[in-house]
Amino acid sequence: MNATRRSLRWLAPAAAVVVALLLWQLATAGGLFTRDQFPTMTDTVRALGDAIGTEAYWDSVLSTLQAWFLGLVIASVLAVVIGSALAFNDFAYRSAASVIEIFKAIPAIAILPLVILVLGSTLEMKVFLIAFGVFWPLVIQVIYGVRSMDPTVLDTAKALGVGGLRRFFVVTIPSASPYLATGMRIASASALILAVVSELVGGAAGIGRNILRAQNGGVSAYPVMYAYILTAGLLGIILTGAFFLFERKVMHWHESQRNIRANEQGARK
């Protein structure tokens, strides 16, 4: 019985993907959409298979991932440092709260023309746009996480003589880790979107620029365009899944993860 349930957990999502692909094929091959509107599933998958065998495809994927990684790392480091500093100082927090809310409300894509004007269609442009876009939600998560820390834990650390950077890494970061993990998982998806958009609009090397080139190539290149769109979607799924696994591995000690494991064990019974 348990084996059957475990099999269904894997088969159900796979079956949903197969059904979606079949509906795509039926809708396009059956005439609901014309080829100049939407390519068939088989044409797109064939184009994706052809592209995977080329060096240009992997160069574009690596360019997008490089910008995603650098932008996310820079934003995360700045968010942890600045967010922790603001969380420990009530005056600084109250002073900066309105500024953070204002900048958080600005869509990162709105500053893209200015960033292109200053940095051009370069890797630096993509990294800056990603870091700007994901920093503000991340810093808010860090502030909430640090401020939600149990005062007893902090007082105990002080009584034991744990101070400075050691207290920051041993007490503060672990206490705020649930907020950090959630923020990082959300920021990962946002960073990938910003990377592709900056390439699509800004013309920097990567998946987005290849999508734009295929679109400008005419109807015959539409399967290639959708092949790169599928690539972006698959990258999003892979990165989100990786963050889920990383969160479960690193935070196995936390109550939230213990509850998840308990629910999964109860479902197997």
- Domain boundaries, given as residue ranges, for the chain: 44-268
d(CA 138, CA 186) in angstroms, rounded, equals 9
Q: Which two tokens stand for residue 27?
A: 């809708």
d(CA 242, CA 53) in angstroms, rounded, equals 25
> How do the residues of the chain divide into helix, strand and coil, expressed in percent and rounded to 5?
85, 0, 15
Burial of 173 (0-12, 13-18, 19+ CB in 10 A): middle
**pTM for the complete prediction?**
0.83
In a 3-state reduction of DSSP, which class is residue 163?
Answer: coil
- pLDDT for 124: 94
Number of Cβ within a 10 Å radius of residue 81: 13
Whether pLDDT at 257 is above 70: no
pLDDT, tens digit, 9 for 90 and up, residues 22-47: 888 888 887 777 777 788 889 999 99
Indicate the pLDDT class of residue 197, thresholds 50, 70 and 90: very high
Q: Are 84 and 145 in contact (CB under 8 A)?
A: no
Mean pLDDT estimate for the chain = 84
Number of Cβ within a 10 Å radius of residue 34: 10
Whether pLDDT at 258 is above 60: no
pLDDT, tens digit, 9 for 90 and up, residues 74-119: 999 999 999 988 988 888 888 888 889 889 888 888 999 999 999 9
Q: Which two tokens stand for residue 196?
A: 């592709």
Q: What is the mean pLDDT of residues 215-229?
A: 90
In a 3-state reduction of DSSP, which class is residue 209?
Answer: helix
User: What percent of the chain is modeled with pLDDT above 70?
Assistant: 88
At the fourth CATH level, the homologous superfamily of domain 44-268 is MetI-like (1.10.3720.10)
In a 3-state reduction of DSSP, which class is residue 54?
Answer: coil
Taking Cα atoms as reference points, which of 73, 81, 64 lies closest to residue 134?
73
